Amino acid sequence: MKGKKILSFLSSFVNVVLFVLLACMIFLVISSKASGGEPNIMGYQLKTVLSGSMEPTFQTGSVIAIKPDIDTASLKSGDIITFVNPDENLVTHRIEEVQGSGETLGFITKGDNNDFVDGETVYASNVVGQYADFTIPYLGYIMSFANSQQGSVLLMIVPGILLILYSAFSIWRALSILDRKEEDVKAQ
C-alpha cells in the first residue's frame, strides 16, 4: 500500500514537472520572440551578457535584469548601465565619471575587466537602462538558443512530446491495473 502511494506521488510529481517545463519553455520562446530577443518580466528587461568585459561582476552567458525607466540625471559613478554604443550594439558597463548636465549629460564608462575606459562618451539619450542587481549565470546561453529557429522548435516540442509520452504511459499503466482487477473478479 505504501509503495502505491509513493508511486502515485512520483507519477503526479513527474506530470507537474513536465507540464511546468513545457509552460516555461513556451513562455521563454514566445516572450523572447515578441520582445525582439529579450523578454520583459514585471517591468524589467532581461539582457544576455555576450562578453567578458564585466567579469567577475557578470560571467559571459549570464542573464541580467535592467530597469528601463530610469532618471538618467540620478545616475552616479559606480552605477552599472546598459547603453547603445556607436556601432548600435548594447553594452553594459560601469559609470566611471559623470560629465555635464541636462542636454549635455554624458557618462565615461568602463568594463570591470577592461584596462581602460571606453573610447566614447555615453550620452543620456543612449542609456537603455540601469542594472537591477539581478543576475542568473549561464541562462543567456539557453535564451540565445531559444531565439534560434532550431531552439524554438526543440524547446517547445521536446517537453510536449515528453508530456504526451508520459501521459500515454500513465494511461497504459492504469488500464493494466483495471485489467488485473477484472481478472481477479472473474477468478473469484
Catalytic residues: 51
Instruction: State whether the Cα torsion 143-148-149-150 is positive or negative.
Output: negative
- Extract the C-alpha cell encoding 182: 477484472
Give ∠ CA 167-152-141 in degrees, rounded to 5. 110
What span, in angstroms and rounded, lies between the C-alpha atoms of 69 and 4? 54
- For 96, the 3-state DSSP assignment is strand
Cβ within 8 Å of residue 131, ≥6 positions away: 64, 65, 66, 79, 80, 81, 82, 92
- Extract the C-alpha cell encoding 93: 558597463
